[in-house]
Structure 1
Amino acid sequence: MSFIDQLKQRRTIYAIGKNVQQSPEQLNELIHTAIKYAPSSFNSQSSRAVTLFGESHTNFWEIVRETLRKLVPPEAFASTDNKINSFSAGFATVLFYEDQSVITGLQEQFPAYAENFPIWSEHSTAMAQLAVWTALSEIHVGASLQHYNPIIDAEVAQTFEIPATWKLRAQLVLGSIEAPAGEKTFIDDTIRFKTFA
């Protein structure tokens, strides 16, 4: 499968389950390799990942649920609860972090670019997320990218012993594909692209 075909195949899969064919060890190896080979500015390698399986995966989504319970009006919580149930039904969750000590170090080393390093860090984590998501799709593991940070950051950091310099950027929940993604639509190319010769 070509890289372009892999990109086309990668979709947001909400209906996921625990029936994956790969072991946690195999998935961990794939996740780690994808992140290691994802590009980063100045080869900073600022991206960090925490992969949660089993009880840790379930506990993470309970943290999200209980955090949201305090913020969402009771009459509107049922839909939120159902959404968290769908994530908890998955096989694992990857927490994507960026190590702020790396960014600070680069700012000190290259002061002329200091204001850009936080931006470039966001680029790095985005590329790491896409690399992992696409690699999972290639082995027919479904996933969806979630962003419950920063409201969950402190409790997650305490629960999973996350270093203080790591900043949570996204959560990728993954599992077996229990129902396909819906049709993907696109805006007209003329709106998005310009070409000059």
Structure 2
Amino acid sequence: MSEAFFELVKARRSYYALSNKTPIPADRITKIVEEALLFVPSSFNSQSSRVVIVYGKEHEALWDLVLEVLKPVAPPEQYPRTIEKVNACFKSGFGTVLFFEDNASVIDMQEKFPLYQDRFPTWAQHTSGMLQYIVWLAFEKEGLGASLQHYNPLIDERVRDKFNLPVTWFLTAQMPFGNIAAPADPKEFMPMEERFKVFGSKL
């Protein structure tokens, strides 16, 4: 059983060439993300993660918003390349998953469990990372290409305003997805002996 899971882990890649088609219906995509959100582990079952999916015109508007926010802060000589990247790699997709953590939920847990109050923000990030990975693996299984982007916190306020989201939701990542339009680049690995150690009996 674990072999099948790890084949999926090995297959998952960052796809930057996306088209606005999809091998599965949008309602299936929505269900995948919903189930990932429902079952992702969280510290003390805090369930602090929040998700928004945008499709179609709302998806395109999101990436137009990103470009608007980046224009005044990006070096002028680099901005044309930024436009090209955003339009060809992210806006070109079928939709985007926006991952958030609800700060109100984190604060509530800090108040309930003061002994661990300094750890809850970190634990919330752990939950968010697990949620992103679950969705990414599920998309890989369904033949959807995706990548993980981090234009937060630059775009946080504009995104909350556009979609009328609570001010306590802070953005952790953006995952554009769609049909795979080109293969991912080859993946390189550091030597395992620099990254992994085992101590103790192997019995």
Q: Smaller-chain TM-score range?
A: over 0.9
What is aligned with 1:57? 59
If the length of structure 1 is used for normalisation, what is the TM-score?
0.97
1:143-182 matched pairs, under 5 angstroms? 143-182=146-185
What is aligned with 2:42? 40
Corresponding letter in the other structure for 1:9:
A
Give the 3-state SS of the residue equivalent to 2:41 in structure 1. Answer: coil
Instruction: Return the match for 1:133 from 123, 131, 136.
Output: 136
Give the 3-state SS of the residue equivalent to 1:179 in structure 2. Answer: coil
- Please say if residues 152 and 171 of structure 2, whose CA atoms lie closer than 8 Å, have aligned partners that are also in contact: yes
Corresponding letter in the other structure for 1:181:
A
**CA distance in structure 2 between the aligned counterparts of 1:42 and 1:15, rounded to whole angstroms:** 39
Q: Which runs of 5+ in 2 are unaligned?
A: none
Deviation track 1:58-109 (CA, whole Å, cap 9, x = no partner) reads 0000000111111112222111001110210000000000011111011001
Are 2:7 and 1:5 aligned? yes
- Please say if residues 95 and 176 of structure 2, whose CA atoms lie closer than 8 Å, have aligned partners that are also in contact: yes
- Structure 1 segments (4+ residues) deviating >4 Å: none
**CA distance in structure 1 between the aligned counterparts of 2:38 and 2:180, rounded to whole angstroms:** 26
Instruction: Return the match for 2:77 from 68, 75, 87.
Output: 75
Deviation track 1:116-141 (CA, whole Å, cap 9, x = no partner) reads 00000000000000000110000010
Instruction: Return the match for 1:98 from 91, 98, 101.
Output: 101
**CA distance in structure 2 between the aligned counterparts of 1:34 and 1:180, rounded to whole angstroms:** 26
**CA distance in structure 2 between the aligned counterparts of 1:166 and 1:16, rounded to whole angstroms:** 28
Corresponding letter in the other structure for 1:149:
N
**CA distance in structure 2 between the aligned counterparts of 1:67 and 1:22, rounded to whole angstroms:** 32
Give the 3-state SS of the residue equivalent to 2:147 in structure 1. Answer: strand
**CA distance in structure 1 between the aligned counterparts of 2:52 and 2:94, rounded to whole angstroms:** 14
**CA distance in structure 2 between the aligned counterparts of 1:162 and 1:186, rounded to whole angstroms:** 40
What is aligned with 1:109? 112
- What do you get for the CA RMSD once the two structures are aligned? 0.9
Deviation at 1:22, TM superposition (A): 1.6
If the length of structure 2 is used for normalisation, what is the TM-score?
0.95
**CA distance in structure 2 between the aligned counterparts of 1:75 and 1:103, rounded to whole angstroms:** 41
Corresponding letter in the other structure for 1:58:
E
What is aligned with 2:198? 195
Percent of aligned pairs sharing the same letter? 42
Corresponding letter in the other structure for 1:10:
R
Give the 3-state SS of the residue equivalent to 2:78 in structure 1. Answer: helix
